[in-house]
């Protein structure tokens, strides 16, 4: 049977009725990839949930299908979001299918080129503002209060509802529940959504235990770990460059209630994991995504994760979104040669 997207697959867990028009690109059903390399290295069973395989290249599509479907049901004409890039790419695509106007507010100069290209190609009105994500989200909140635009950031509860399907999918694919669920934390909607999903599956008796929710923030943008707002967040992982997460309290609750944690990884650790995942498992994710694997390696080294644990790391977005960062930070480089057979053979050492 043809796969129909997260709303049809998990309809009975979602706030939709037969009157909800479904706007979908058949998001979800993303690969859960066993990593031999990471499993050997950590003495755990490590799976990578590759959310970069979603239609616009990030997990944002899971929430956007629902947020946009509900906006159409409510007869809205325009949607708006602040974005570090992927929310705008996703919103712009789903709005295009639905025939809605899409307004995007992004921090100037801090968006990966691929994400910006997506928003522009899908016809969004893109405003680059001289501020960071948190300031852009403040603007969006104010616009949403006063003007006829529907906010599709993760402060829109339908985003969280759609994104919780990621937890259902992991349990269905594994036919088990991970001991640890590792995930990058930016605005903290995703960790909130996954925890909600696991709890609902548990309450509906689909699973009989819950994972420890284990989040990671980048060192220069770690407000939850530090316990205070970061006015000028900085990290190479632009998708988690956030100083005042909208779902701060919910993320703290997810970590505390599950017996998990939220901790810090450095940009160096993120870049090392980013290279490792691509070169040793063949999965190309974006820098922010690699925070989950960087965190895994760190927690294992610290002795915080027992041998044999069942681990799922969420790889939130696709590496192709940000080829500049890839080429700049890659451990392999091109070798320039004359266009001669002998030159290539010599270089190969044959
Ligand atoms: C949005 C995003 C994140 C952060 O998710 P939050 O829900 O804001 O915590 C991480 N990685 C990528 C690739 C993203 O697009």
- Rounded CA separation 286/272 (Å): 12
Q: Atom of ligand 1 at shortest distance to CA of 286?
A: 13
Centre of ligand 1 from the C-alpha of residue 316, in Å: 6
pLDDT number for residue 36: 98
Q: What pLDDT score was predicted for residue 276?
A: 98
Q: Distance, CA 185 to ligand 1 centroid (Å)?
A: 7
DSSP 150: E
pLDDT the model gives residue 167 = 98
Of all protein residues, whose CA lies closest to atom 15 belonging to ligand 1? 86
Token pair 């697959």: residue: 9
Per DSSP, the three-state class of 112 is coil
Residue 342 zone, left/alpha/beta (φ > 0; ψ -120 to 50; rest): alpha
Residue nearest to atom 13 of ligand 1 (CA): 317
pLDDT value, residue 253 = 98
Report how far residue 308's alpha carbon sits from residue 188's, in angstroms, rounded to the nearest whole number: 28
Q: Which of 133, 187, 221, 242 to mutate to test the pocket of ligand 1 (most atoms within 8 A of CB)?
A: 187
For ligand 1, the distance from its centroid to the CA atom of residue 184, given in whole angstroms, is: 7
pLDDT given for residue 60 in this prediction: 98
Q: What is the mean pLDDT of each run of 10 residues along the chain (350 residues)?
A: 96 97 98 98 98 98 98 98 96 98 93 96 97 94 96 97 98 98 98 98 98 98 98 95 96 98 98 98 98 98 97 98 95 94 96
Within 10 Å of residue 131's Cβ, how many Cβ atoms? 17
Quick one: pLDDT at residue 236?
A: 96
Closest ligand 1 atom to the C-alpha of 52? 13
48 neighbors 315 (Cβ within 8 angstroms) = yes
CA angle in degrees (0–180, nearest 5) for 163-59-262: 75
How far does residue 346's CA lie from ligand 1's centre (Å)? Answer: 45
Task: Determine which residue's CA is closest to atom 4 belonging to ligand 1.
Answer: 186
- Find the DSSP H helices in the chain: 6-9, 36-42, 60-73, 86-98, 113-121, 133-146, 157-163, 165-174, 189-203, 223-226, 248-258, 267-276, 287-301, 323-329, 341-348
Q: What is the CA radius of gyration of the chain?
A: 20
pLDDT of amino acid 1: 81
The pLDDT score that the predictor gives to residue 110 is: 84
Instruction: Work out which ligand 1 atom sits closest to the CA atom of 288.
Output: 11
Q: Give the binding-site residues of ligand 1, using a 6 Å CB cut-off.
A: 58, 60, 86, 154, 184-190, 239-240, 286, 288-289, 316-317
**Minimum-distance ligand 1 atom for the alpha carbon of 251:** 9
| Probe residue for ligand 1, chosen from 184, 283, 294 as the CB with the greatest number of ligand atoms within 8 Å | 184
Rounded Cα–Cα distance for residues 237 and 154 (Å): 19
Q: In testing the pocket of ligand 1, which one of 50, 61, 86, 92 has its CB within 8 Å of the most ligand atoms?
A: 86
């Amino acid at each position: 049977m043809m796969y129909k997207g997260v709303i049809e697959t998990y309809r009975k867990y979602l706030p939709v009725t037969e009157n909800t028009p479904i706007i979908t690109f058949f998001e979800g059903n993303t690969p859960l990839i066993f990593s031999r390399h990471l499993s050997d290295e950590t003495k755990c069973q490590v799976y990578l949930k590759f959310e970069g395989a979603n239609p616009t290249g990030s997990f944002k599509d899971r929430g956007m299908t629902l947020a946009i479907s509900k906006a159409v049901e409510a007869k809205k004409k325009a949607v708006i979001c602040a974005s570090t890039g992927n929310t705008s790419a996703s919103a712009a695509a789903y709005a295009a299918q639905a025939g809605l106007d899409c307004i995007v507010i992004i921090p100037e100069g801090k968006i990966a080129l691929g994400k910006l290209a997506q928003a522009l190609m899908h016809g969004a009105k893109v405003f680059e503002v001289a501020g960071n994500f948190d300031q852009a989200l403040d603007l969006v909140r104010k616009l949403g209060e006063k003007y006829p635009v529907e906010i599709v950031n993760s402060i829109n509860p339908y985003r969280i509802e759609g994104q919780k399907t990621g937890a259902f999918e992991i349990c269905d694919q594994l036919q088990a529940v991970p001991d640890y669920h590792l995930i990058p934390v930016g605005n903290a909607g995703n960790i909130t959504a996954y925890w909600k999903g696991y709890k609902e599956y548990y309450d509906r008796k689909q699973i009989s235990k819950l994972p420890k929710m284990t989040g990671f923030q980048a060192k220069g943008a770690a407000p939850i770990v530090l316990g205070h707002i970061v006015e000028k967040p900085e990290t190479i992982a632009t998708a988690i460059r956030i100083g005042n997460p909208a779902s701060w309290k919910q993320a703290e609750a997810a970590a505390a209630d599950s017996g998990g944690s939220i901790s810090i990884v450095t940009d160096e650790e993120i870049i090392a994991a980013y290279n490792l995942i691509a070169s040793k498992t063949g999965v190309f994710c974006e820098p922010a995504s690699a925070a989950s694997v960087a965190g895994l390696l760190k927690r294992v080294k610290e002795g915080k994760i027992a041998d044999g644990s069942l681990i799922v790391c969420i790889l939130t977005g696709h590496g192709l979104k940000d080829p500049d960062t890839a080429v700049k930070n890659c451990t392999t480089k091109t070798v320039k040669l004359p266009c001669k057979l002998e030159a290539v053979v010599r270089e190969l050492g044959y």
